[in-house]
Structure 1
């Protein structure tokens, strides 16, 4: 892929598009649009914005992701993973701050795509992904307890521990009818797949509970059931495009949340696209997908929306109902637009406890407890990264969790690489059975190491750890040698730190009157060493192609 290559799947799909596929995409798009409705409303409210902002995000972002995306079946929109981030940004920076941070994240996502980072992002360590998604799930569940049970708490604390303390202290304020609506919603959504594969359980629950709440209010005089209309003024008016005022200080203060939105959006969208590929037997273009996600996050806040990404649940719904082209995603956006324009005022009758029930099920689906338990059987380093990310997500915030999780993963990765590179000492003879091409040029039986010569062999990449190993191993020798042979036939590459350590080793040996000879250096490593001018320190004649030559050279030096 060239630096500015941009290949939306829609262009390729339309070349061989036909009426039969359109009918299938039409049905899939309608169903996905209906599925997206309750989720968009729930995600909007849980994020701390109005319900219509959730739907606007699904309309705008869903349309752009389908028009310009690198996946045939990806459905874009608001997702549960962003709830915690959005809520935190609004609390600290306000709605305008969220708008600016989302626009900045959109720009970052476009840059990610142009720099071909799509493949790299997909390889973010799995324990980190599970750690913060599980942490987000627990956090979402925690934020819904008040509405689920109808607790009378004026101001719910922001942090995790204080929330649960407040819930326990106010457990006596449960509103029975709200609790009944919330728990019944969870049960309906959980059992609905056994009766209906096409109609989503969340929509069934919303319809049943909304009608029940209206009937109870009308005929039983029960007015304690809290609805969306009690908290929000619902509007079906399309917002005008507005671009917020930007300044260097504002951009500087919002760079951290913008990076988190961009990274999380990239991970979730590419994960969703990868899962979809496995189901439909296709292959998405990850860099084009990132550019499309960036465009979606540029447009969504301008029209009053919130951050968006690829939604796995809606994408799978699209696939399961026959969607095989971006046309289905475009239709899904059109369906949501019609619902927004003509049915949005009726959303005020939806019980808040029902939406809380929807998000409880969403959090259960996100938690990935099976994967969490599975990682507990992995190496300790994976377990550490998992728990650190998980606990930081819950008790602090996702920004810190991702940053610290990535740092931990990098440090543990470096430790593993360092441990994988070892330095072996060969004292008396070189075992012919362990050799390959080196001995094809010499005598297999008589490769004794001359007196006054030390032979070391590096196995693995030459990182900083190898230099430290040299120092530790050399300290074990009593007598100072005249020649040190360093075999590098199993060194695939050397980094700048490795070069620095090797150079220091050669210079230190030279001061002590010890000649260093390199043996079996491959072509790539040789180019790196030449660029570092190592020849000027040890001499060109002391860089040998194989061990036979190195041993002969050591005899000449002695």
Structure 2
């Protein structure tokens, strides 16, 4: 018998029989992923209102810890684009100290979700809600990058609120910088064309068309790095006047991050509870969706609870080193898989490679132009959104359309937290309505072989007797038979406490009239609940029948 524990990282399982060949593949995959993660980590941090080193330190520390304790073989953790809007709002309202505390709180929540084995509950969030806020986040990321993409001159911080953001961008539009726009468009074109060319490596020579096939080694280089290098060289050679990491942030410190203790206080924690909860829920969704995608690619099964434990622990640690929220990232995980990564060692190598870059090549980062990073994020935003779902909306039913569009609009215009809350509430309301509509109490005629049927009413109950469907009892109270009431529970799959109270009311009303109630066909859950609450005892053991065949004898006894 296999014993399951609450703490069971995949790394510990896979180390048995770990070979030199697998290690070489993991090292190669980890180095490739680090090249992909380098520009994204800096871009996500800058877009979130943080210095670029915050993203790098998060990719290093959280990336290492997530891989070390992950419940997935190939999950790569780090800063994610989905957090940009939330993090920016927290930094604007509560400052960097508030973000560190919120990140720590979200880590505790994630850890508790994993410890309490709540990983499976995340899967119950409706697809329409996930697509709605994912597309909404993509739009907000693109809007947040317009300033650097066009080189707009805006004094002070760009507001996070949608209408204020649009107004600020519109007013600053005349200040656009031609050099910055040229760098942005060039970077975006390089990324798009590079991705299109790299796909040719999987085609046969006669299928490649005008574009040539690409060798495997060249295809390992991501387009974002090519664009970043090209844009940096272009700006340096032509001496264009565009913002760079050095001009805005003074570069990236060369060395290990300093230990920082977030300011803990009840007032701060109370105000940051909802933002921290949003970070935790979004992080859980992102990481578990990423793990499911990875499972389908490597034909493995991840441990969702262990993954939440890993995410929680990583987010509890990174705030002490000035980091930002982290989660599993689909783009880096897929890159890891496609380049031969087959164990958490690849993710740990990716983190160590980024650490080496910070220790050795950090001074070079000051020359990176910000318009190039904004172009990378524009590309990320486009790929993040599931835009085809808007086209396919007409093929879905009205509740799905309303839910998706409602969450999308609220995410863009109001707030992500509100959007998720309203979306889940609306989805639950629709679910309750549909389930209650499937719960019925239909009157049926008793078989001819059952004697003495005059004055006997029989109902077949179907579905779930819960708080949303308790009104089905009303017909049985309004039209009482003279001799007995027969209830067929064979199609009842669930009864909750509200349903039991309605049945209790029904029983009391019939007992006052001295009319017996006969039930049969009880399944396990309804039987357990009615037995535990004493309803069956009050009903009378002689009135609890196993099947319809016992009705004849019982009705005869009543005569």
Same fold (TM over 0.5): yes
Give the corresponding residue for 1:161.
Answer: 163
Question: Is 1:83 the counterpart of 2:73 in the alignment?
Answer: no
Q: Give the C-alpha shift of residue 131 in structure 1.
A: 1.1
2:41, 2:79 within 8 Å by CA — same for their partners in 1?
A: yes
Single out whichever of 247-256 and 362-371 deviates more from structure 2: 247-256
Give the corresponding residue for 2:207.
Answer: none
Distance 2:406 2:514 in 1: 50
Q: Give the C-alpha shift of residue 105 in structure 1.
A: 1.0
- 1:543-554 residue pairs with structure 2 within 5 A? 543-554=544-555
SS of residue paired to 1:461: strand
Q: Kindly provide the CA deviation profile for residues 75-124 of structure 1, in whole angstroms up to 9, marking residues without a partner as x.
A: 10000000011111111111111111111111111111111111221332
2:477, 2:506 within 8 Å by CA — same for their partners in 1?
A: no
Q: Kindly provide the CA deviation profile for residues 8-35 of structure 1, in whole angstroms up to 9, marking residues without a partner as x.
A: 1111222111111111111111110011
Query: Of 298, 309, 319, which aligns to 1:280?
Result: 298
- 1:323-342 residue pairs with structure 2 within 5 A? 323-342=341-360
Query: Of 438, 455, 464, which aligns to 2:458?
Result: 455
Structure 1: runs of 5+ lacking an equivalent: 431-444
Give the corresponding residue for 2:502.
Answer: 501
Distance 1:166 1:540 in 2: 74
Give the corresponding residue for 1:198.
Answer: 220
Query: Of 244, 248, 258, which aligns to 1:231?
Result: 248
1:3, 1:114 within 8 Å by CA — same for their partners in 2?
A: no
Question: Is 1:395 the counterpart of 2:395 in the alignment?
Answer: no
Distance 2:78 2:419 in 1: 23
Distance 1:2 1:401 in 2: 41
Query: Of 414, 419, 435, which aligns to 2:437?
Result: 419
Distance 2:3 2:507 in 1: 42
Distance 2:524 2:255 in 1: 66
Distance 2:183 2:558 in 1: 89
Distance 1:359 1:375 in 2: 27
2:473, 2:502 within 8 Å by CA — same for their partners in 1?
A: no
SS of residue paired to 2:465: coil
Distance 1:2 1:232 in 2: 52
Distance 2:391 2:285 in 1: 21
Structure 2: runs of 5+ lacking an equivalent: 199-218
CA 396–551 in structure 1, closer or farther in 2 if over 3 Å, else same: farther
Distance 1:83 1:266 in 2: 16
Count of aligned pairs: 536
CA 190–555 in structure 1, closer or farther in 2 if over 3 Å, else same: same
Give the corresponding residue for 1:385.
Answer: 403
Give the corresponding residue for 2:234.
Answer: 212
Give the corresponding residue for 1:114.
Answer: 115
Distance 2:98 2:420 in 1: 21
CA 306–513 in structure 1, closer or farther in 2 if over 3 Å, else same: same
Distance 1:533 1:373 in 2: 54
Q: Give the C-alpha shift of residue 138 in structure 1.
A: 0.7
1:40, 1:55 within 8 Å by CA — same for their partners in 2?
A: yes
Q: Kindly provide the CA deviation profile for residues 299-345 of structure 1, in whole angstroms up to 9, marking residues without a partner as x.
A: 11111110000010000001111111111111101110111112122
CA 246–29 in structure 1, closer or farther in 2 if over 3 Å, else same: same
Superposition CA RMSD, Å: 1.9
Question: Is 1:345 the counterpart of 2:363 in the alignment?
Answer: yes
Distance 1:419 1:379 in 2: 16
Question: Is 1:68 the counterpart of 2:72 in the alignment?
Answer: no
Distance 1:548 1:360 in 2: 69
Give the corresponding residue for 1:363.
Answer: 381
Distance 1:304 1:3 in 2: 35
Q: Give the C-alpha shift of residue 243 in structure 1.
A: 2.2
Question: Is 1:180 the counterpart of 2:202 in the alignment?
Answer: no
Single out whichever of 26-35 and 238-247 deviates more from structure 2: 238-247
Give the corresponding residue for 1:15.
Answer: 16
1:131, 1:387 within 8 Å by CA — same for their partners in 2?
A: yes
Q: Give the C-alpha shift of residue 68 in structure 1.
A: 1.0
Give me the TM-score of the superposition, normalised by structure 1: 0.92
Distance 1:533 1:306 in 2: 53
Query: Of 469, 472, 479, which aligns to 2:472?
Result: 469
1:3, 1:115 within 8 Å by CA — same for their partners in 2?
A: no
2:450, 2:551 within 8 Å by CA — same for their partners in 1?
A: no
Question: Is 1:520 the counterpart of 2:537 in the alignment?
Answer: no
SS of residue paired to 2:160: coil
Q: Kindly provide the CA deviation profile for residues 109-161 of structure 1, in whole angstroms up to 9, marking residues without a partner as x.
A: 11111111112213321111111111100110111111111122324333212
1:542, 1:550 within 8 Å by CA — same for their partners in 2?
A: no
Single out whichever of 546-555 and 283-292 deviates more from structure 2: 546-555
Q: Give the C-alpha shift of residue 294 in structure 1.
A: 0.8
Give the corresponding residue for 1:53.
Answer: 54
Give me the TM-score of the superposition, normalised by structure 2: 0.92
Distance 2:152 2:475 in 1: 64
Q: Kindly provide the CA deviation profile for residues 399-437 of structure 1, in whole angstroms up to 9, marking residues without a partner as x.
A: 1122222222222222222122211111x444xxxxxxx
